[in-house]
Amino acid sequence: MATAWLPPDWPGNFWAHWAIFAVISIVFVLLMFMVFVWVERRAMGIMQARLGPNRAGPFGILQPAADGLKVLLKEDIVPAKGDKVVHWLAPVVAVVPVLLIFAVVPFQGGALLVDLNIGILYIVAISSVTTVGVFMAGWASNNKYSLLGAMRQVASVVSYEIPVVLSIVGVILLAGSLSMQQIVMAQDIPFILLQPLGFLLFFIGALAEINRAPFDLMEADSEIVAGFHIEYSGMKFALFYLVEYGEALAISAIVTTLFLGGWRGPLLPPWLWFLVKVGIVFFVIVWIRTTVPRVRIDQLMALAWKFLFPLALLNLLITAVEILVWPAVSLWVMVPINIAVMIVLVLLWSRFFKLGWGKVEV
Amino acid sequence: METTKEVVINAEPFVVNIGPVHPSTHGVFRMRTTLDGEVIVDMEPVFGYLHRGIEKLAEERTYTGCIPLTDRLDYLASMSNNLAYCLAVEKLAGIAVPERAEYLRVIMAELQRIASHLIAVGSFLNDCGAFVTPIMYMFREREKIVDLFDMVSGQRLTYNYVRVGGVSQDVPEEFIPALEKFLKEMPGWIDEYDQLLKENEILLARAKGVGVLPKELAINISASGPVLRASGVKWDIRKADPYSIYDRFEFDIPTGAAGDCYDRYRVRIEEMRQSLRILEQAMKDLPEGEVRSEVPHLIRPPVGEAYGHIEAPKGELGFYLVSDNSIAPYRFHVRAPTLINLTALSDMMRGWKVADLIIIFGSIDICLAEVDR
Amino acid sequence: MKFERYGIGIAKGLRVTIRHLLRRPITTQYPEQRLNTSRRIRGNELIWDKEKCTGCATCAKTCPQGSIHIVTSVSIEENKYKVEKFEVDHGYCIFCGLCVEACPYEALFMGYAYERARYRRGELVLAKEGLLASEERKPSGYAHPEIAATLPKQSLLLDKDRGKR
């Protein structure tokens, strides 16, 4: 049984494989969530010329644990006139899809819970269920600002789904399969070089979907709506917090798998490469949050429909043309062509792009 | 035969109270906004939550004892308040100020201008949503200035340094080297702030063209300070009615063209650069001498009235004093620049959305302690 | 919004932020590290020199808040005022330092310590013996240059922050 550890596509012992990987997925998500909270607070602190938390445990490592403990001990307040069942169900409906996404993310060659041959489609479908949970939270709070915040969030998630999915289709065209494992195997050249425009669109769209800066108007504290989780306290609030960081982790993992080559890399063991790449992508997300101000809601929608959506269509068109017309040419030729196309398109589109309608006459 | 049923959608504007305690707080300030969906139809400011009766308290304190009261008017620009008050008393009583004291006053006032603008710009950028990164960077520089003030006067917020007839004590000998070091480093830091957020597309989208204050309106409501200069009016009391020794220094007055939030932000950054210029000239020419002229312990000015005004960081700060030949002022009135600047708020906000309300409010930079006195 | 700079503005901002990763943070860990305060700090207490005080009550007249209470009686033998009561209410005091500047005999000092909080308001009222200088109650150099010369130099952020661009 010494070889039982790697690579574990155990023929015949289906239940053991399923049990071990279910445990690994959930432990991975929860552990990385804590690590990510710590990384974000420390990294953001140092980039702002201050230290992050450093009192709870050495270098503040136990800070997320302390936060979790504090949140557990808080009183659970349910609004009196709100819908109690929906109020209780909303965090559950929001959290479970985030955990389910990790069923198809490959940590190593063959090391994933189930290698669905429609892997990426499954991810797109499941990640939309979180939005239902968010809307349920907004509705059940019996608070018109919370409902307003939830509706804004639903509108923004729905708008940004389309460019995200279209950029994923570009990757699928190149890889030839929907399965996550196959996509990683097809990346002799990481797809970020072959699909630079697709990467850009996916990244911006994903940031909007997970409600992080610069698109975090839902949790912004400078406006009158404080978001859909305004009436939540205690463990339910912790679950929404888990949703936010869990989605950030999921997006990092998906970006790594689709565009950066997953677990492939020269020297280190593959699962370590995976962790390093996920860490880098998350660091970029934190970096952007530290620097960039927030957009307004109408600017958010205009960005999705007028800027990202046409560019996503064009990207798809160009990728399809390249694959059909030059199937035999080496992929390394495509890299500079695609980068040039990206630069030209972004510059051209920016010239013609006008956003928001500004001041309204009253 | 068809009957068309007319469907009337009754969408009335509703009143939302952005309450005295709100997250992007610049003090306790209440805005009763009438919203039509997301668009602001009307806005009514309600203030007075921080009224402490300073004008009445001043009538029971001696002229020198009023100086700590003026510290607490606009607590972020304490030196400027002290200076304006002392100018008014000196005008009333006819007291001259020695040369070294004049130069020291100018140095303190310009350092205070930089410190106040750092907070103004930092909190404006924070309201735009850049988390707290700009505030952290700008507070680091403000900390250096506050350290210098601490060295001179002994406290970090309410300095109580400028006196009638000069300043209270001379600067220690480590002040000038520290000031030189600060002046050498500061332009680099201001350039770094520019790199961070001056050309940021999202900031341009949120602040350019938003909350325009037209030139005629600005002049009509007697706005002053960066709010007026960003609307295109080149009016600065240091050049228009020079007080102290400002006519000896060479500096420019930055103005904006459009009068929107972005211009107000740029005007403040450029004013910081001009203050650095004045500081270098003042530090080079600092003469020796005494720092306080002979003034009686209890000043008893002759009967009369005087108005002393300066270009404070937030606008034209003026003190109107009436004396009846006793040791306390008979009437002490403060012309608070931020109170007068905010009378245009409802005109600036009409037609914008709730998210812009916070930005417009942050860009006119009010300090409630001065509005409410 | 037109992307006037095509994303270069955001890129420049990102560069500034990432450079800060390589600089030392400027935080001072308070209870373990303490900075040297200014030599002229108007700290949270008043210190009284009993020998020099003559009971003229100039400080009490100068105080804007009226937090100094002085009661004197005439002492024929020693030919001077005897100070019966010299009480300072630190709750009313705004630590402006006008009394220290006003004293003609240099008998008043501001305190050097700043961690002087008390649990009860009554403990803030200090009378004659409680106002004297001692080991915990050191005088500061505000309006007293001879004391300022003996105190340690102030720690400035200008000296600590060596961030290079």
SS3 B166: strand
pLDDT at B6: 59
Are the C-beta atoms of A163 and A205 separated by less than 8 Å? yes
Cβ-proximal residues to A283 (8 Å cutoff; 6+ apart), any chain: A39, A43
The hierarchical CATH code for the domain C46-148 is 3.30.70.3270
Best CA proximity match to B22, nearest among B2, B49, B1, B41: B49
Question: Which of B133, B209, B210 lies closest to A48 in CB terms?
Answer: B133
pLDDT at A4: 44
Burial B83-105 (b: 16+ CB within 10 A, else e): bbbbbbbbbbbebebbebbbbbb
Amino acid in the structure at residue B161? Y
pLDDT at B335 over 60: yes
Question: Which of A224, A293, A355 lies closest to B130 in CB terms?
Answer: A293
What does the alpha-carbon distance between residue C34 and residue C31 come to, in Å, rounded to a whole number? 7
pLDDT at B11: 64
Chain C positions in Cβ-Cβ contact with residue A50 (cut-off 8 Å): 25-27
Cβ-proximal residues to B131 (8 Å cutoff; 6+ apart), any chain: A44, A213, A289, A290
pLDDT at B107: 92
Question: CA B14, A86, A69: angle at the middle one, nearest 5?
Answer: 100
Tokens, residue A86: 């929906």
* DSSP β-ladder status, C46-48 and C108-110: antiparallel
Q: In this complex, do B199 and C1 lie within 8 Å of one another by their Cβ atoms?
A: no
Provide the 8-state DSSP code for C83.
E
Tokens, residue C151: 């105190």
Task: Give the pLDDT band of residue B105 (cuts 50, 70, 90).
Answer: very high
pLDDT at A6: 46
Cα dihedral A207, A133, A21, A26 sign: positive
Q: What is the pLDDT of residues B173-210, one digit of tens each?
A: 889 999 999 999 899 889 888 888 877 878 888 888 88
Q: Is A43 an interface residue toward C (CB < 8 Å)?
A: yes
What would the DSSP string read from start to end of B78-98? Answer: HHHHHHHHHHHHHHHHT----
Chain A positions in Cβ-Cβ contact with residue B36 (cut-off 8 Å): 362
pLDDT at B333: 92
What does the alpha-carbon distance between residue B240 and residue B262 come to, in Å, rounded to a whole number? 25
- Measured in degrees and rounded to the nearest 5, phi and psi for residue B326 equal -120, 180
pLDDT at B203: 83
Q: Which of B226 and C13 is assigned the larger pLDDT?
A: B226
- The residue among C99, C103, C157 with the most chain B CBs within 10 A of its CB, best to mutate, is C157
Average pLDDT over residues B1-9: 56
Average pLDDT over residues B123-131: 84
Tokens, residue A338: 């695609």
Q: In this complex, do B137 and A290 lie within 8 Å of one another by their Cβ atoms?
A: no
Question: Which of A49, A299, A353 lies closest to C2 in CB terms?
Answer: A353
Q: Which residues pair with B163 in a beta bridge?
A: B166
- Is B57-372 CATH 3.90.1150.10? no
Chain A positions in Cβ-Cβ contact with residue B140 (cut-off 8 Å): 49
pLDDT at B220: 92
Q: In this complex, do B133 and A47 lie within 8 Å of one another by their Cβ atoms?
A: yes
Q: Which of A230 and C19 is assigned the larger pLDDT?
A: C19
Are the C-beta atoms of C9 and B204 separated by less than 8 Å? yes
CA distance C77 to chain B (A): 31
pLDDT at B1: 47
CA distance C136 to chain A (A): 29
**Residue B205: its H or E element:** helix B201-207
pLDDT at C17: 84
Helix axes A84-101, A119-127, angle to 10 degrees: 160
Average pLDDT over residues B341-347: 86
**ipTM of predicted complex:** 0.86
Question: Count of A–B CB contacts within 8 Å?
Answer: 88
Upper half-sphere CA count for residue A62 (Cβ side, 13 Å): 7
Task: Show me where the domains of chain C are located.
Answer: 46-148
% chain B with pLDDT above 90: 28
Are the C-beta atoms of B79 and B159 separated by less than 8 Å? yes
pLDDT at A356: 56
Q: In this complex, do A224 and B354 lie within 8 Å of one another by their Cβ atoms?
A: yes
Q: In this complex, do C96 and B68 lie within 8 Å of one another by their Cβ atoms?
A: yes
Q: Is C3 an interface residue toward A (CB < 8 Å)?
A: yes
What would the DSSP string read from start to end of B131-193? Answer: TTHHHHHHHHHHHHHHHHHHHHHS-SS----EETTEESSPPPTTHHHHHHHHHHHHHHHHHHH
Chain C positions in Cβ-Cβ contact with residue A353 (cut-off 8 Å): 1-3
pLDDT at B259: 86
Per-residue pLDDT of chain A (362 residues; tens, 9 = 90+): 334 444 455 555 677 778 888 888 888 888 888 889 899 888 888 888 888 888 888 888 888 888 888 888 888 888 888 778 888 888 899 889 988 888 888 877 666 777 778 888 888 888 888 888 888 888 887 777 777 778 888 888 888 999 999 988 888 888 888 888 888 888 877 888 888 888 888 998 998 888 877 887 776 654 555 667 777 888 888 888 888 888 888 889 899 888 888 777 777 787 788 888 899 999 999 888 888 888 887 888 888 888 888 888 988 888 888 888 777 666 777 777 778 877 888 777 777 766 555 666 55
Best CA proximity match to A116, nearest among A183, A194, A208: A183
pLDDT at A238: 87
Tokens, residue A114: 């189930």
Cβ-proximal residues to C68 (8 Å cutoff; 6+ apart), any chain: C57, C59, C60, C86, C87, C88, C99
Chain C positions in Cβ-Cβ contact with residue A39 (cut-off 8 Å): none
What does the alpha-carbon distance between residue B310 and residue B244 come to, in Å, rounded to a whole number? 9
